[in-house]
Structure 1
Amino acid sequence: MLKFTFLGTSSGVPSLTRNVSGLAIQSGKSKDWILIDAGEGTQHRIQHAKLSLQHLKAICITHVHGDHCYGLLGLLASAGMNGRKSPIILIAPKQIQQWFDATCQLTELFLPYPIEFIDVNLIDQPYVLNEQMSIEPIALSHRVASYAYGITAIQTQRKLNIEKLNQLEIPKGKLWGDLQQGQDIEWNAQTIFNQDIIIQTTQHVYAIVGGDNDQPRLLADKCKDADVLIHETTYTQAVLDKVGPGPMHSSAKMVAEFAQDIQLPNLIATHLSPRYHDQAGVQAIQDEIAQYYQGLFFIANDFDQYELNAQGELSQLHSGKPWEK
């Protein structure tokens, strides 16, 4: 139901193997997608991931720090130069709109499509993007106002009631097809109403994508219903103890202990400090999470792809590990 493509998994600055924050999310088989954060270089990552800016429906910015938003304006400009005409919804702190307006004025940026800006501070209920997806901001704790985004995906399936069709002796073929398409049919001099033959089921999944945050437990209430949490693990606990509380980030241990306490079924760790970008560093983050969390987890790499199915089961579709290439 939801597919996650990691475009950037580094904190602060990019490295040779990891770009700064960016995450593409698609629902079902649709080509449409949303973007969570747009660090510098995100538009280049989008090209490598073979995602189309024409199908980008919404961008959500977690906070104003540059490694989460410096790629936004170049991305929007490129979409315009590629002929985009349809609006893009931009959910972000109000400072992002001020920065956008100033950039348009000072650099003569004229977009041939509208930006529908929504101040994240003013959203008090889930924003319904379309019939398949809604977006809900959740306040976090960081040096500036920071948010997670709860993504709800809804999938409705319509199936024919085969048993009832056989009871009515309606033959397979065009009549079955018409019913499947939502039409009423005539059979044996009576009207067969579509609503009496179709079995409709609705399934939903809920994913939380966190911005920078030094208090994972702020997500406790929302995580009760979450099928997966994507959260920063910037440091191991030993390094965080040396760095101190100033940067206001989470360690792998903090996130793992939180996930274990609330019995979270799936966890994806991201936003790694550049000191962990080699194989040994990733292993250190992985070992620390495994020590405190017994659920299913992954350490995200750039270009990793994961799928969350309708049953809330998380699987990896593609690995972007540079040492596996």
Structure 2
Amino acid sequence: MELIFLGTGAGTPSKERNVSSLVLNLLSERNSFWMFDCGEGTQHQILHSSIRMGRLEKIFITHLHGDHIFGLPGLLSSRSMGGSQDPLTLYGPPGIKAFVETTLSLSGSYLTYPLEIIEIQPGKVMDDQHFCVTALPLVHGIESFGYRIEEADRPGTLDASRLLAEGVPAGPVFQRLKAGEQIQLDDGRVINGQDYLGPAQKGRVLAIFGDTAPGENSLVLAKDADVMVHEATLEASMAEQANNRGHSTTQQTAELAKTAGAKRLIITHFSARYGTEESLRLLAECQAIFPSTEMASDLAVFAL
């Protein structure tokens, strides 16, 4: 599992940063990619990454501001022109369906794959045996959501050496035992896989935020997260300006990570006023409060 940042700027692109988009690489977990936001130029950024659009399974939109959605029509069309027939599910606030259907219709575009559009409400938006995704509203000028992605606990490690020592032959039977099944050997012995598994491995938790000023739901989304991805649009001294526009400062973001008990903070969505050198000051302001802070840059990859 890894996070691939395609755009880390706020509002408008700059020479160093494109507008918002990031991808969660789940090739090892479910042979797919999940995208969060799709600002203008996102498909161009994909060309410089390891992401395969045919394996794009889900897109989660945080809110309908242009720097988070204007890349969607082009990306959806290019995925179709690439010949993909695999289904794609798009999640987003009310209005996302009208936006996508209108732009595709007026441009005469068509899709070669099934596209399901789900307009989300606060609460659980997706839950299967591997992942649960919850969305909660944030504090912004328009309806904006943050997403909490919770991975299911994974089975503990199978004690293969003990099984071999007890005369259980290696092979496909080990996979069944790792799944916790009970099997009968040729000699009549019944082996319960649960007896040979170590402690379950806790699933990972990610909190991925849309644009937001400080608010109560932010703490719920980030509680004990392994990784928290949050905007740090402006420096600490500009709190009033940031909050009035529905954004957070470095200090507010770092304090949230600390209070929530997050293990790791990745900051993104930086104002175009900050160049590469100036951005380091934003990172330092966060690290002074929450040392486990890292700064995202376009095309940066973070292993989780």
Q: Equivalents in 2 of 1:103, 1:126: separation in Å?
A: 25
Question: Structure 1 residue 194: deviation in Å?
Answer: 5.5
Structure 2 residues not aligned, in runs of 5+: 178-182
Q: Equivalents in 2 of 1:4, 1:196: separation in Å?
A: 33
**What SS does the corresponding residue of 2:45 show, helix, strand or coil?**
helix
Name the residue aligned to 1:318. Answer: none
Structure 1 residues not aligned, in runs of 5+: 309-325
The 1:224/1:245 distance shift into structure 2, 3 A limit, reads: closer
Name the residue aligned to 1:119. Answer: 119
The 1:266/1:159 distance shift into structure 2, 3 A limit, reads: closer
Name the residue aligned to 2:204. Answer: 205
Retained in 1: the 8 A contact 2:224–2:263?
no
Q: Equivalents in 2 of 1:290, 1:179: separation in Å?
A: 49
Give a deviation string over 1:162-196, Cα, whole Å, max 9, x none.
465255334xxxx2113213274534x31444636
Question: Structure 1 residue 160: deviation in Å?
Answer: 3.5
Amino acid in structure 2 at the alignment position of 1:284: R
Amino acid in structure 2 at the alignment position of 1:294: F
Q: What pairs up with 1:279-294 in 2 under 5 angstroms?
A: 279=277, 281-291=278-288, 293-294=289-290
Name the residue aligned to 2:94. Answer: 94
Name the residue aligned to 2:180. Answer: none
Structure 1 or 2: larger strand share? 1
TM-score, reference length from structure 2:
0.89
Amino acid in structure 2 at the alignment position of 1:6: F
**Which residue among 247, 257, 262 is the counterpart of 2:245?**
247
> Percent identical across equivalent pairs?
29
Q: Equivalents in 2 of 1:50, 1:265: separation in Å?
A: 27
Retained in 1: the 8 A contact 2:124–2:132?
no
Q: Equivalents in 2 of 1:192, 1:277: separation in Å?
A: 65
RMSD of Structure 2 on Structure 1 (CA):
2.2
How many residues align? The count is: 297
Answer yes or no: is 1:231 the counterpart of 2:227.
no
Name the residue aligned to 1:34. Answer: 34
Name the residue aligned to 1:59. Answer: 59
Q: Equivalents in 1 of 2:153, 2:4: separation in Å?
A: 20
**Which residue among 299, 303, 313 is the counterpart of 2:299?**
303
Q: Equivalents in 2 of 1:208, 1:48: separation in Å?
A: 25
**Which residue among 122, 129, 132 is the counterpart of 1:131?**
129
Q: Equivalents in 2 of 1:231, 1:24: separation in Å?
A: 14
Q: Equivalents in 2 of 1:42, 1:233: separation in Å?
A: 20
Q: Equivalents in 2 of 1:42, 1:25: separation in Å?
A: 14
Name the residue aligned to 1:147. Answer: 145
